[in-house]
């Protein structure tokens, strides 16, 4: 019984997708806005399918009330009905949702304790003043260290490819400090930034997050916990 229902759903879904394909092709010819003259042969060529298939699909669309069709001595005229437009509009809204907010990604990472190196660098005024200017906050002196698991590495690698916000290097009397790439982010709603030193040997599976607050305390995190970082690319 369950199997029957699934089989039905299988064909139903395929059918909707097949219908959508032709309906969308007609819509691209402006058939939502005007009556379009098109023979089944022309449609067949347009969608790259056989004449029989094109004719059958037009009939299905008509039977479902998705198009309105008129045959005259001059040929076949097709227009997409309100019901057809609604089906297309649902697709449109789905795609809109997919691409809304498209500039943000989410990466999961496991909290671990560093050796305090982050604290040292973040405290340097040469970086701090740029964090204030370019990120809009004065960071707590310390970083939250995250180890990115294997399956989350896709977006970790993406960060290496993205330009991010450039924090410039600087020199003191003793030494020089290199460039840092930053990405604004949020962890559980708290504002912060990922900082990635642009040096060659920085480990690929590590992310360090700075924030105006001490994230570990504010979010009650301990080593081994996983957190999700929403990164603005």
Query: Does the annotation flag 142 for ligand binding?
Result: no
Closest CB to its own copies among residues 68, 191? 68
Choice from 41, 65, 91, 136 touching its own copies (CB under 8 A): 91
- 220 annotated ligand-binding residue: no
C-alpha–C-alpha distance, residues 24 and 191, integer Å: 42
Note whether 34 binds its own copies by CB under 8 A. Answer: yes
- Show Cβ contacts of residue 101 under 8 Å, excluding neighbours closer than 6 positions: none
Q: Is 153 in the site for its own copies (CB under 8 A)?
A: yes
Among 62, 126, 134, 155, interactor with its own copies by CB under 8 A: 155
Size of the site for its own copies (CB under 8 A): 54
CA distance 229 to 105: 8
**In the complex, minimum distance from the CB of residue 114 to its own copies, in angstroms, rounded to a whole number:** 24
- Helices 2-28 and 51-63, axial angle in degrees (round to 10): 100
Q: Does 214 bind its own copies (CB under 8 A)?
A: no
Give the number of residues written for the chain: 233
Q: How far apart are CA 126 and CA 139, in angstroms?
A: 13
Q: Which of 39, 52, 70, 188 binds its own copies (CB under 8 A)?
A: 70
Tokens of 200: 């060659």
Q: Is 109 annotated as a binding residue?
A: no
Among the listed residues 17, 113, 116, 174, the single contact to its own copies using CB under 8 A: 17
The four Cα atoms 220, 205, 197, 157 give a dihedral, to 10 degrees, of: -120
Q: Is 115 annotated as a binding residue?
A: yes
Q: Are the C-beta atoms of residues 66 and 84 closer than 8 Å to each other? A: yes
Q: Does residue 13 have a known ligand-binding role?
A: no
d(CA 214, CA 145): 12
Sign, CA torsion 50/51/56/59: positive
Residue 226 binding its own copies, by CB under 8 A: no
Interaction of residue 105 with its own copies, rule CB under 8 A: yes
- Applying CB under 8 A, the residues found at the interface with its own copies are 6, 9-10, 12-13, 17-18, 21, 24, 27-28, 30, 32-35, 37, 47-50, 53, 68, 70, 72, 74, 77, 79, 81, 88-89, 91-92, 94-99, 101-102, 104-108, 149-155, 228
């Amino acid at each position: 019984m369950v199997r029957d229902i699934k089989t039905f759903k299988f064909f139903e879904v395929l059918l909707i997708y097949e219908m959508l394909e032709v309906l969308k092709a007609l819509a691209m010819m402006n058939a939502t806005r005007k009556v379009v003259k098109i023979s089944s042969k022309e449609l067949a060529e347009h969608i790259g399918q056989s004449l029989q298939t094109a004719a059958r699909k037009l009939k299905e669309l008509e039977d479902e009330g998705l198009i309105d069709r008129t045959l005259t001595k001059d040929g076949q005229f097709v227009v997409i009905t309100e019901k057809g437009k609604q089906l297309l509009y649902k697709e449109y809204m789905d795609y809109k949702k997919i691409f809304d907010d498209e500039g943000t990604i989410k990466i999961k990472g496991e909290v671990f304790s560093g050796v305090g190196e982050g604290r040292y660098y973040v405290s340097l005024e040469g970086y701090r003043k740029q964090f204030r200017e370019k990120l809009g906050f004065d960071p707590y002196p310390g970083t939250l260290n995250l180890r990115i698991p294997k399956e989350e590495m896709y977006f970790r690698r993406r960060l290496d490819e993205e330009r991010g916000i450039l924090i410039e290097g600087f020199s003191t009397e003793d030494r020089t400090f290199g460039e840092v790439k930053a990405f604004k982010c949020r962890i559980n709603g708290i504002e912060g930034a990922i900082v990635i030193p642009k040096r060659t040997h920085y480990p690929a599976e590590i992310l360090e997050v700075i924030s105006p607050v001490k994230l570990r305390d504010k979010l009650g995190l301990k080593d081994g916990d996983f957190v999700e970082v929403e990164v603005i690319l």
